[in-house]
Amino acid sequence: MNYVSVSFTHKNTGIEVREKLSFSDPEKKREILRLIGANENIIESMVLSTCNRVEIFAYAINPSIATKHILNSISIITLVPYDALELRADVYENEGAIHHLFSVASSLDSLVVGETQIAGQLKEAFKFAYDNGDCGNNISSAVHFAFKCAAEVRASTQISKNPVSVSSVAVAKAKEIYGNIGGMTAIVIGAGEMSRIAAQHLINAEVNVIVLNRDLQKAKSLAESLGDLASFDSIEKLSEYVNRYRLIFSATGALSAIITDEILEPKDFHRYFFDIAVPRDIDISENEFIHVYAVDDLEEIVRTNLALREEQASVAYAIVGRSTTAFFKWLLSKSSTPAIKALRQKAKDIALNEIDKAIKKGYIRNCDKNEAKKLVHQVFKAFLHTPSVRLKEKNSEDVLSNLEYLFDIKIQKDENLEGDLK
């Protein structure tokens, strides 16, 4: 069995294609998982879809067949041509797939290294797939190790201290434009996590924030959590607000643009639109007074932050490498357990049988049977120590098959690698 990861991120895919690949909609995500799982070669699968990435993580019999089927499934649902997907996708197998998963969980592969949102997004992606019956113990094991790795990275480095997210980078860009944005008013559209982070950074800069959302209760809850500088209103008044204020931040879950040229009025002051949603919320024409910054446009600020975090990232990658090695060592240990059990049971059965024969022939007395059992137990325990260690260090289908043939044993194969992952 093999772990496979098919990855589309800000590194290999532009926002125009990424927004087509978005599986943030639950029904669309459920459909891609159903289509992927329809291939008997793929045992388990999980989809992680954020504003900067779409990751398909799978456990499969043949990684090459799995990759082709995953790309074809994505193409069927998104209508992005297969060849275009194949050209852009980063594909990882086994150690590479696990290393990539751990890097993603540790926020080392994020647009903004060290941002903390990804851990929660990965947890939600796993829970969705698990609850939907699309993944089981094999992906569960990998994800749990990924969380352990991410926790060690956070504890051992400063990479997530004063975290920077795409939302905070957008606010930083606004500060760069105006110098001091304190006292200004900003519109934040949406009441989700990205909007909350943007709003909080704006509040910290002493900006008045107006939250717009379809669900007024959610808008109210977010505004109340932000304090006295925040208020809220219905998104139905969107046109009124975007034509009145200079700073607009949008991060809704809409499947198509909500701010278009049709709702904009000509104004003689500069307006700055920060689109931090995927798919994009904003589809407007820029001119001397209208300026739009999408996720990909924020990379310049991100690169500056990356340079500051480079040293810490190297430490973090070392942790990811060790965690990847530890995971596969754990897998070997788990997969070798049935073989070790079978070997020891065979040795025990032979020993007990030979003791009974020795008693019948008078070689040992029946009253010494327990002592003889203890002795032979120690003998086969010592004899099997080295094979047991070697099996935990390295085994394969060929090794296990040879063991079955040489010792005339039947090894119970366990595809579901369960264990104490807490």
Catalytic (active-site) positions: 51
Please tell me whether 386 is known to bind a ligand.
Answer: no
Length of the chain in terms of residues written = 422
Give the position of tokens 């579901």: 416
- How far is C-alpha 234 from the geometric centre of its chain's CA atoms? 33
SS3 state of residue 187: strand
Please tell me whether 194 is known to bind a ligand.
Answer: yes
Element (H, E) at 181: none
Element (H, E) at 233: strand 230-234
Give the position of tokens 């500069």: 270
Residues 295 and 10: beta-carbon distance below 8 Å: yes
Please tell me whether 51 is known to bind a ligand.
Answer: yes
Interatomic CA distance for residues 337 and 301, integer angstroms? 50
Give the position of tokens 């107006």: 210
Interatomic CA distance for residues 261 and 241, integer angstroms? 14
Please tell me whether 195 is known to bind a ligand.
Answer: yes
Residues 212 and 233: beta-carbon distance below 8 Å: yes
Query: How is residue 312 written in tokens?
Result: 């810490």
Interatomic CA distance for residues 328 and 99, integer angstroms? 11
Please tell me whether 250 is known to bind a ligand.
Answer: no
**Pick from 376, 370, 372: which is nearest to 347 by CA?**
376
Please tell me whether 191 is known to bind a ligand.
Answer: yes
Beta bridge pairs of residue 42: 60
Give the position of tokens 């090794």: 399
Give the position of tokens 């002795």: 375
Please tell me whether 116 is known to bind a ligand.
Answer: yes
- Helix/strand/coil (H, E, C) string of 51-81? CCEEEEEEEECCHHHHHHHHHHHHHHHHCCC
Please tell me whether 31 is known to bind a ligand.
Answer: no
* Binding residue positions for NADP(+): 190-195
* Binding residue positions for substrate: 50-53, 110, 115-117, 121
* Binding residue positions: 50-53, 110, 115-117, 121, 190-195
